[in-house]
Amino acid sequence: MLVKCHAKINWSLDVLSRRPDGYHILDMIMQPLSLSDDLVISSLSSPGIDFSMEGGGGDIPVTDDNLVVRAARRLQEETGCGMGARMHLVKRIPSGAGLGGGSADAAGALAGLNVLWNLGLSKERLLSVSLSIGADVPFCLHGGLCRVGGIGEEIRPIAPAPIFPAVIIQNCAALSTGEIFRLYHCLEDPARPDTDHLEEIFLRNPALLPAHPGNVLEEVSIGKRPEILDARNYLLRSGATVAQMTGSGSAVFGIFADADSAEEAFRASPWKDGTFLCETSEQSIDIM
């Protein structure tokens, strides 16, 4: 079985509060991308999980700490399934980029193993299991253009997901989400997105999207990685109608009005190894 695990972007990201347990209450608009990792899965009659990976730059653990393995183990615990799996992950989504690569891979493992092991779990139950693995995993399992709140468990579809040509640039080192949130709390007056207004635009006319919809973490992430601003400015100069950092960084996405403009920006990018040509997507998980 081949499972394509799609990256995501944050059209907007706001931090509303922090719970006593340290988790942040967020308000976001998110959408998958066509950029994806490939997860190849086959079943084992014993309960072992045999995991291997290629790509990813060597900074992702190929151990029980990997989110793919954690997802498989969690599914076994939840269902009492005595079967195991051999899983090979081909990484294309850059890590530490705010693109949800690890979460997408975990979501793909849950969806794929639910089919492969004939578990028959409903989407609602899979979503419940997924939240225990990571905050972005429920959305990566759900897909579509959605407003996402709480710690990632509140997912509300907005409208049919618009498909736009996109260019992704990660032109600097990865960022730690935990560190970015700590720095965010040092800001006196962070610039917050108007997520309600952005949702209205998606419902009425996505062609009117602002060039910078808003990401409350972008300011502190640029402080750590000034190259983020370089990438954003390059995309806008290259004709992007929208350019913004996604998640806690360090990747920036640019949205283009047509595929030719996106391809031209992709080919002219000075950061060849860290630039990706893709498009926004409706689906977050494809099982083949």
- Residues 90 and 169 occupy one common structural domain: no
pLDDT at 207: 92
Same structural domain, 130 and 195: no
Predicted pLDDT of residue 273: 94
Q: Whole-model pTM above 0.75?
A: yes
- What percent of the chain has a predicted confidence (pLDDT) above 70? 98
d(CA 15, CA 89): 32
Rounded CA separation 201/206 (Å): 6
Q: What is the pLDDT of residue 148?
A: 98
Domain span at residue 205?
A: 165-279
What pLDDT sits at residue 65?
Answer: 84
User: Are 12 and 128 within one domain?
Assistant: yes
178 lies in some domain: yes
- 148 and 270 in a single domain? The answer is no
CATH number of 236's domain: 3.30.70.890
pLDDT digits (tens, 9 = 90+) for 150-200: 999 999 999 898 999 999 999 999 999 999 999 999 999 999 999 999 999
Domain shared by 111 and 174, yes or no: no
> At which of 128, 159, 190 does a domain end?
159
pLDDT at 58: 57
Under 8 Å between Cβ of 247 and 97: yes
Mark whether 61 and 38 lie in a shared domain.
Answer: yes
pLDDT band at residue 59 using 50, 70 and 90 as cut-offs: low
Number of Cβ within a 10 Å radius of residue 9: 28
Determine whether 8 is an active site residue: yes
**CATH number of the domain bearing residue 16:** 3.30.230.10
pLDDT over threshold 80, residue 57: no
Give the type of residue at 245: M
What is the reported pLDDT for 184? 96
What number is the average pLDDT over the span 230-241? Answer: 98
Does residue 166 contact residue 287 with C-beta atoms inside 8 Å? no
**Shared-domain flag, residues 108 and 210:** no
Same domain, 113 and 187: no
Distance CA 6, CA 14 (A): 22
Residues 11 and 121 in one domain: yes
In a domain, 288, yes or no: no
Print the SS3 string covering 144-203. Answer: CEEEEEECCCEEEEEECCCCCEEEEECCCCCCCHHHHHHHHCCCCCCCCCCHHHHHHHHH
Lowest mean per-residue pLDDT among 52-56, 133-137, 190-194, 238-242: 52-56
**pLDDT tens across 104-117, in order?**
999 999 999 999 99
The verdict on residue 284 lying in a domain is no
Is 224 annotated as catalytic? Answer: no
Residues 131 and 6 placed together within one structural domain of the fold: yes
Among 14, 27, 37, 136, the active-site one is 136
Q: What's the rounded Cα separation, in Å, for the pair 271 and 233? A: 13
| Together in a domain, 181 and 154 | no
Contact 181, 261 (CB under 8 A): no
User: Distance of CA 169 to CAs 18, 83, 89, 140, Å?
Assistant: 30, 40, 22, 20
Q: How confident is the model at residue 48 (pLDDT cuts 50, 70, 90)?
A: very high
Residues 155 and 177 in one domain: no
pLDDT digits (tens, 9 = 90+) for 120-151: 999 999 999 999 999 999 999 999 999 999 99
Residue 213, helix vs strand vs coil? coil
Q: Is 287 a member of any domain?
A: no
* Residue of 8, 37, 105, 224 with catalytic role: 8
Q: Give the chain's domain count.
A: 2
Position 22 scores a pLDDT of 87
